Amino acid sequence: QVELAESGGGAVQSGGSLRVSCVASGYGWQRSDYVMYWFRQTPGKEREGVAALDSRGQTSYADSVQGRFAVSMDNAKNTLYLQMNSLKPEDTAVYYCGADPRAFNIGRWQSWAPTIYYWGQGTQVTVSS
């Protein structure tokens, strides 16, 4: 069993920055066994992929956040981060951390929301114009 706990969400003005975090824990947790993901969701819409980070450090980003967001992980703290810069009102969403044991697929991961194995509870990010 793996548990994921996000934190760091909040309200920020357009153009600002915010960093959200996700701590992984649990009996089944081992960094090398999982690819880590950030997804986001707004009411009435499907959960969409934002960023991915595999155990070798390979990253992938949605086109909408490329160049503005950066995903990283502190393996010693078992903590996944998403640094969000130049935020826009359309970035407003609940941000979810996910962990999945499947091999990283850079061309398909963004459609994997329905089948990601573990999710955190989410953290709200609100960007005002």
Contacts of 26 by beta carbon, 8 Å cutoff, 6+ apart: 1, 2, 3
Lowest-confidence pick of 1-5, 25-29, 45-49, 124-128? 25-29
- What integer is the mean pLDDT of 63-82? 97
- Say which amino acid occupies 32: S
> To 5 degrees, how large is the angle CA 121–CA 4–CA 28?
140
Exposed e or buried b per residue across 69-105, where buried means at least 16 C-beta atoms within 10 angstroms of its C-beta: bbbebeeeebbbbbebeebeeebbbbbbbbbbeeebe
Q: Cβ of 68: how many Cβ atoms within 10 Å?
A: 15
List pLDDT tens digits, range 9-64.
Answer: 999 999 999 999 999 999 989 999 999 999 999 999 999 999 999 999 999 999 99
